[in-house]
């Protein structure tokens, strides 16, 4: 039996595509002009994707081995462009799909987020979302005058106040406040535009916003909290959640937990869509796909430097200091990406770091096969988990290329569509309404 239709999205940084790939063409030097991502948006909309989500961070890290060499050599967290100005460009070359950019509650003032999101919502006619992150790196904080980030759980408390302020600002103009009445001489009716006078623990904001909210009112809110505090925050505020639990049981547990928490916050569980990270490996035959996956999983020195480099950036623990042939020491803790470190610790239990890296699985489920067999597997997984969709991630070093995008858009997506598993049209006018449609 087929699962209900599910949502399909793509997770990416605004970053160099797979520059070592023989299919990279000139993209390693030209991606910052946005063309690569505009082509990608066109292809994904044709394929029936719901949205593209751009993660972000704002640092060049020297945590790994005390040098920026590893980050820059492999292009891990830098170079990276700000996705915010990219979004309206992508909306300009598409008609229906949604686009999400990341902005951190530790670094932006809430007024700026409210303003830029409202402006983009108008520019895109209701097709943007905000990925709310609290950030994980003191090194990023040091670009904004902070020596350290607040402690992990307190960052979520601050984010909670932040998002409350942003929503109040979006609501500070009543509908119909712009009257543009030549007879009376009023462009905007001041009696319908209200200050918010917010004076809280972290923020003091007078308001009102200096423009009305866009077509979505409150643009789509996206979040990826994994810790208990993060899950609580996400289930209170988000329309869409991104997650990377491992295996069908953990996926179901995560989704059930988020839905139960959402109900606890007085929301309808169906208002929160949970998306699971996957990275399908496609071949013309099963054997082809398995060979590609085998090569992808080989633990080369580059892979080690990439995986441990990313772990070092997001946890701010120098993973270069550890003996690869020994277990991860018990006393390693982080004020950064807590759930990332916990998952790694679980994987290393009873193993050396090297062994854990060999069994490393960054996706929710491994999908390896032909477009038809992977589509069937996605159907089964969604049936077992209950929903709500998959977030495809092109593995950054080798597969984020026009070729890989086309394998998904012209191979996998049509198979999914043929089975009625993904959308074939966008009946609503906004991203948020299309997301809520099933």
Binding site for ligand FMN (CB under 6 A): 11, 55-57, 102, 131, 133, 135-136, 224-227, 230, 242-244, 277, 337-340
Q: How far is the CB of 201 from ligand FMN (least distance, A)?
A: 20
Pick 126 or 340: Cβ nearer ligand FMN: 340
Q: How far is the CB of 422 from ligand FMN (least distance, A)?
A: 19
Bond from prior residue into 12 cis (ω within 30 degrees of 0) = no
d(CA 227, CA 152): 10
Please give the sequence-ordered ranges of beta strands (E in DSSP) within 261-404, or none if there are none: 273-278, 281-282, 368-369, 389-393
Helix orientation angle between 301-315 and 338-348, rounded to the nearest 10 degrees = 140
Pick 68 or 339: Cβ nearer ligand FMN: 339
Sign, CA dihedral 393-411-16-354, equals: positive
Q: How far is the CB of 226 from ligand FMN (least distance, A)?
A: 4
Q: How far is the CB of 157 from ligand FMN (least distance, A)?
A: 13
Q: How far is the CB of 174 from ligand FMN (least distance, A)?
A: 33
Q: How far is the CB of 185 from ligand FMN (least distance, A)?
A: 46
d(CA 120, CA 195): 22
Pick 13 or 208: Cβ nearer ligand FMN: 13
Secondary structure (3-state) at 174:
coil
Q: How far is the CB of 352 from ligand FMN (least distance, A)?
A: 25
Pick 232 or 407: Cβ nearer ligand FMN: 232
Paired strand residues for 278? 392
Q: How far is the CB of 343 from ligand FMN (least distance, A)?
A: 10
Pick 207 or 393: Cβ nearer ligand FMN: 393
Pick 173 or 431: Cβ nearer ligand FMN: 431
d(CA 360, CA 362): 6
Closest CA to 131 of 13, 7, 284: 13
d(CA 34, CA 12): 13
For the chain, the residue count is 438
d(CA 311, CA 339): 11
Phi first, then psi: what are they for 391, rounded to 5°? Answer: -115, 110
Pick 261 or 426: Cβ nearer ligand FMN: 261
Range 275-288 burial, b when 16+ CB lie within 10 A, else e? bbbbbbbbbeeeee
Q: How far is the CB of 230 from ligand FMN (least distance, A)?
A: 2
Pick 129 or 340: Cβ nearer ligand FMN: 340
Q: How far is the CB of 41 from ligand FMN (least distance, A)?
A: 18
d(CA 124, CA 126): 6
Pick 218 or 393: Cβ nearer ligand FMN: 393
Q: What would the DSSP string read from start to end of 106-162? A: TTS-HHHHHHHHHHHHHHTTS-EEEEEE----HHHHTTTT-SSPPPHHHHHHHHHHH
Q: Which residue, judged by CB position, is nearest to ligand FMN in the bound state?
A: 230
Q: How far is the CB of 78 from ligand FMN (least distance, A)?
A: 13
* Non-local CB neighbours of 403 within 8 Å, separated by 6+ positions: 21, 23
Residue that is written with structure tokens 């950054």 in the block: 396
Phi first, then psi: what are they for 340, rounded to 5°? Answer: -60, -45
Pick 47 or 238: Cβ nearer ligand FMN: 238
Pick 77 or 218: Cβ nearer ligand FMN: 77
Structural tokens at position 342: 């916990």
Q: Are 131 and 230 in contact (CB under 8 A)?
A: no
């Amino acid at each position: 039996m087929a699962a209900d239709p599910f949502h399909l999205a793509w997770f990416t940084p605004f970053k160099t595509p797979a520059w070592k790939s023989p299919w990279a063409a000139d993209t390693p030097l030209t991606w910052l002009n946005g063309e690569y991502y505009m082509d990608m948006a066109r292809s994904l909309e044709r394929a029936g994707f719901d949205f593209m989500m751009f993660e972000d961070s704002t640092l060049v890290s020297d945590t790994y081995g005390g040098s920026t060499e590893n980050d820059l050599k492999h292009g891990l967290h830098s170079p990276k462009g700000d996705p915010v100005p990219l979004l309206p460009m992508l909306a300009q070359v598409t008609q229906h799909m949604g686009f999400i950019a990341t902005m951190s509650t530790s670094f932006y003032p809430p007024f700026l987020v409210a303003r830029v999101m409202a402006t983009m919502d108008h520019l895109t006619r209701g097709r943007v979302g905000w990925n709310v992150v609290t950030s994980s790196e003191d090194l990023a904080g040091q670009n904004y005058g902070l020596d350290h980030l607040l402690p992990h759980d307190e960052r979520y408390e601050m984010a909670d106040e932040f998002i409350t302020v942003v929503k109040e600002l979006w609501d500070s103009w009543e509908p119909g406040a712009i009257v543009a009445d030549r007879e009376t001489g009023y462009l905007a009716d001041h009696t319908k535009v209200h200050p918010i006078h917010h004076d809280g623990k972290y923020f003091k904001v007078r308001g009102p916003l200096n423009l009305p909210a866009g077509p979505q009112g409150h643009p789509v809110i996206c979040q990826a909290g994994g810790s208990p505090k993060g899950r609580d925050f996400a289930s209170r505020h988000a329309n869409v959640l991104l997650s990377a639990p491992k295996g069908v049981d953990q996926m179901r547990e995560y989704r059930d937990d988020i839905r139960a928490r959402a109900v606890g916050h007085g929301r309808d569980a169906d208002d929160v869509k949970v998306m699971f990270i996957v990275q399908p490996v496609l071949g013309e035959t099963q054997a082809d796909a398995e060979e590609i996956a085998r090569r992808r999983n080989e633990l080369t020195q580059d892979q080690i430097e990439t995986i441990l480099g990313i772990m070092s950036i997001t946890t701010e623990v120098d993973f270069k200091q550890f003996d690869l042939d020994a277990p991860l020491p018990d006393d390693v803790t982080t004020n950064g990406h807590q759930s990332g470190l916990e998952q790694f610790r679980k994987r290393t239990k009873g193993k050396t770091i090297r062994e854990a890296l060999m069994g490393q699985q960054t996706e929710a489920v491994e999908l390896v096969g032909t477009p038809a067999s992977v589509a069937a597997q996605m159907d089964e997984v969604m049936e077992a988990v209950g929903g709500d969709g998959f977030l495809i991630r092109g593995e950054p070093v080798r597969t984020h290329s026009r070729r890989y995008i086309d394998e998904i858009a012209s191979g996998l997506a049509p198979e999914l569509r043929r089975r009625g598993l993904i959308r074939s049209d966008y009946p609503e006018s906004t991203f948020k309404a299309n997301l809520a449609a099933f």
